[in-house]
Structure 1
Amino acid sequence: MQSSYVQIDPLDNIIVAITDLPAGTLVEINNQTITLKENIKQKHKFALNDLSIGANIFMYGVLVGVATQNIDSGSAITVSNIKHAAAGYNKQENSYQWNPPSVEKFKELTFDGYHRKDGKVGTANYWLVIPLVFCENRNVELLEASLNEALGYSDKKDISIDTTALIKKYQAGETETSIYETPILTTQKELKKNRVFKNVDGIKYLKHDGGCGGIRQDAEVLCNLLAGYIANANVAGATILSLGCQNAQMEILEKALEKISPKTKKTVHYLEQQQSRNEHSFIEEAVKLTFLGLIEANKVKREPAPLSKIKLGLECGGSDGFSGISANPALGYASDLLVALGGSPVLAEFPELNGVEQELINRCIREEDAQKFTKLMSSYSSAAVAVGSGFENNPSPGNIKDGLITDAMKSAGAAKKGGTSPIVEVLDYTEQVEKPGLNLLCTPGNDVESTTGLAGSGCNIIVFTTGLGTPTGNPITPILKLASNTTLAEKMDDIIDVNTGTIISGEDTIESMGEKILLKIIEVASGRIEVKAEINGNNDFIPWKRGISL
Structure 2
Amino acid sequence: MSDTRLETIGTDSPARITLRIHPRDNVAVALTDLPAGRRVAIDDRDIALADNVRHKHKFTLEALSPGEIVTMYGVTVGKATQAIPAGGVITVDNVAHATESGDVQPGSKPWTPPDVTRFRGTTFDGFHRPDGSVGTANLWLVIPLVFCENRNIEVLRQCVADALGDDPYRDYKRMARQMLAGVSGNTDQSDASDPLAAAAPTRFPNVDGVRFLTHTLGCGGTDDDAEALCQLLAGYICHPNVAGATVLSLGCQKAQIQMLKAAVAARDPQQRRTVDYFDQQSSPSEEALIRNALQSIFDGLAAADRIQRQPAPLAKLTLGVECGGSDGFSGISANPLVGGVVDRLVALGGSGILAEFPELCGVEHELVARCTDADIAGRFRDLMQAYQRHAAAVGADFSMNPSPGNIRDGLITDAMKSAGAAKKGGDGPVVDVLDYTEPHRRPGLSLLCTPGNDVESTTALAGSGANLIVFTTGLGTPTGNPVTPVLKIASNSELATRMRDIIDFDAGPIVRGERSIDELAEELLALCIEVASGRHRSHAQRLSQHDFIPWKRGVSL
Q: Where on the TM-score scale, by shorter chain, does this alignment land: which range?
A: over 0.9
CA RMSD in angstroms, aligned pairs only:
1.7
2:53 paired with 1:40: yes
Deviation at 1:90, TM superposition (A): 4.1
Determine if the alignment matches structure 1 residue 476 to structure 2 residue 489.
Answer: no
1:382 aligns with 2:397: no
Distance 1:310 1:477 in 2: 12
Distance 1:335 1:162 in 2: 41
**1:186 matches 2:187:** yes
Which residue in 1 is equivalent to 2:301?
Answer: 294
Residue 285 of structure 1 pairs with residue 292 of structure 2: yes
Q: CA deviation at 1:493?
A: 0.3
| Deviation of the 1:162 alpha carbon | 4.8
From the superposition, tell whether residues 431 and 164 of structure 1 become closer, same or farther in structure 2 (CA, over 3 Å): closer
What residue identity is the alignment partner of 1:88? S
| 1:366-381 aligned within 5 A | 366-381=373-388
Aligned residues: 538
Alignment of 1:84-233 (within 5 A): 84-90=97-103, 92=105, 95-155=108-168, 158-159=171-172, 162-163=175-176, 186-187=187-188, 191-233=198-240
Aligned residue in 1 for 2:419: 412
Q: Distance in 1 between matches of 2:186 and 2:409?
A: 31
Specify the alignment match of 1:174 in structure 2: none
> Judging changes above 3 Å, is the alpha-carbon distance between structure 1 residues 443 and 512 closer, same or farther for their aligned structure 2 residues?
same
Task: Determine if contact 2:59/2:90 at 8 Å carries over to the other structure.
Answer: yes
- Superposed, which structure 2 residues align to 1:390-539 within 5 Å? 390-539=397-546
SS in 2 for 1:527: coil
Asked whether 1:253 is paired with 2:266, we answer no
1:318 maps to which of 321, 325, 334: 325
**More deviation, 512-521/457-466:** 512-521
Tell me if structure 2 keeps the 8 A contact 1:13–1:58.
yes
**1:472 deviation in Å?**
0.2
1:24-51 deviation line (CA, Å, top 9, x unaligned): 2211112111111221100001110011
Residue in 2 that maps onto 1:49: 62
Matched, 1:14 2:27: yes
* Paired residue secondary structure (1:521): helix
**SS in structure 2 at match of 1:373:** helix
Note the C-alpha offset of 1:96. Answer: 3.2
Instruction: Quote the Cα distance in structure 1 between the aligned partners of 2:551 and 2:95.
Output: 32
Give SS of 1:268's match: strand
Aligned-residue offset at 1:273: 1.2
**1:160–1:185 contact (8 Å) kept in structure 2:** no
Match of 1:176? none
Q: Find the counterpart in structure 2 of residue 172 from structure 1.
A: none
What is the CA–CA distance in structure 1 between the aligned matches of 2:109 and 2:51, rounded to whole Å?
43
Aligned-pair distance for 1:168?
Answer: 7.2
Identity level (%): 56
Structure 1 residue 238 corresponds to structure 2 residue 242? no
Q: Shift of the alpha carbon at 1:156?
A: 6.2
The answer to whether the 8 A contact 2:411-2:417 is kept is: yes
Q: Distance in 1 between matches of 2:512 and 2:76?
A: 27
- CA shift, 1:379, in A, is 1.1
Pairwise CA distance, 1:97: 1.9
Asked if 2 retains the 8 angstrom alpha-carbon contact of 1:159 and 1:188, the reply is: no
For 1:157 and 1:404, locate their aligned partners in 2 and report how far apart those are by CA, in whole Å.
39
Deviates more, 1:140-149 or 1:154-163: 154-163
Q: Which runs of 5+ in 2 are unaligned?
A: 1-5, 7-14, 191-196
Deviations 1:300-347 (A, max 9, x none): 000100000001001000000000000000100110000000001000
Structure 1 residue 361: Cα displacement = 0.7
Shift of the 191–321 alpha-carbon distance from structure 1 to 2, 3 Å rule, reads farther
> In structure 2, what is the equivalent of residue 547 of structure 1?
554
Shift of 1:152: 3.4
Query: 2:413 corresponds to which letter in structure 1?
Result: T
Report how far residue 270 of structure 1 moved. Answer: 0.9
Contact 1:478 1:534 in 2 (8 A): yes
Cross-structure match for 1:349:
356
Cα distance change, pair 527–47 in 1 and its aligned pair in 2 (3 A): same
Distance 2:188 2:274 in 1: 41
SS in 2 for 1:158: helix
Q: What secondary structure, in the 3-state scheme, does the structure 2 residue paired with 1:28 have?
A: strand
Q: Within 2, Cα distance between the matches of 1:162 and 1:482?
A: 29
Write the mapping of 1:255-274 to structure 2, written as runs, cut at 5 A: 255-274=262-281
Normalised by the length of structure 2, the TM-score is: 0.94
SS at match of 2:101: coil
TM-score relative to the length of structure 1: 0.95
